[in-house]
Structure 1
Amino acid sequence: MNFVPQVATTEISDADLDNVSGGLAIGGSGGLCVETPIASVASDLLAVATPEGVTTGMAFHTAAH
């Protein structure tokens, strides 16, 4: 008796694979950090574009010395 599970495989097109894996996306990010004798200031920016729309995010951090 064979107890190994059987798995069926099939070919998938590139377009179908894009839909399964989340599709196509393009993104970018950047950051800036300035350190002074009084404090450190940092900011980050993120943008991601997909066929469904654009998502952006921004963060700003400060720390006193």
Structure 2
Amino acid sequence: MNIAPQVATAEISDADLENVSGGIAVGGGLYVETPVAAVASGVLAVATPEGVAAGAAVNTVAH
């Protein structure tokens, strides 16, 4: 099973890039594999002048 994160890309013009606000992002993850199961988890928090967002995910796979 492939648990690598999927990434989407998009084009952005130089004019639009000038309007991008700065912010802070903090994230981390953990992966543990045992003879019985594998567990992957991750968290992300983002703070910008426009607001705050946070997320978390947990994935498990039984062997």
TM-score by shorter chain over 0.5: yes
Q: Give, in whole Å, the separation in 2 of the partners of 1:27 and 1:54.
A: 10
Over the matched positions of the two proteins, sequence identity in percent amounts to 57
Between structure 1 and structure 2, the one with the greater Rg is 1
Ranges in structure 1 where 5+ consecutive residues have no aligned partner: 1-16
Counterpart in 2 of 1:45? Answer: 43
Q: Give, in whole Å, the separation in 1 of the partners of 2:39 and 2:21.
A: 36
* Superposed CA RMSD: 0.9
Q: Give, in whole Å, the separation in 2 of the partners of 1:37 and 1:44.
A: 21
Is 1:58–2:56 an aligned residue pair? Answer: yes
Ranges in structure 2 where 5+ consecutive residues have no aligned partner: 1-17
**TM-score normalized with structure 2 length:** 0.67
**TM-score normalized with structure 1 length:** 0.65
Figure out how many residues of one structure are paired with residues of the other and give that number: 46
State which of 29, 32, 38 in structure 2 corresponds to 1:31.
29
Following superposition, the deviation at residue 46 of structure 1 comes to: 0.5
Shift >4 Å, 4+ stretches: none
Following superposition, the deviation at residue 32 of structure 1 comes to: 0.5
Following superposition, the deviation at residue 60 of structure 1 comes to: 0.4
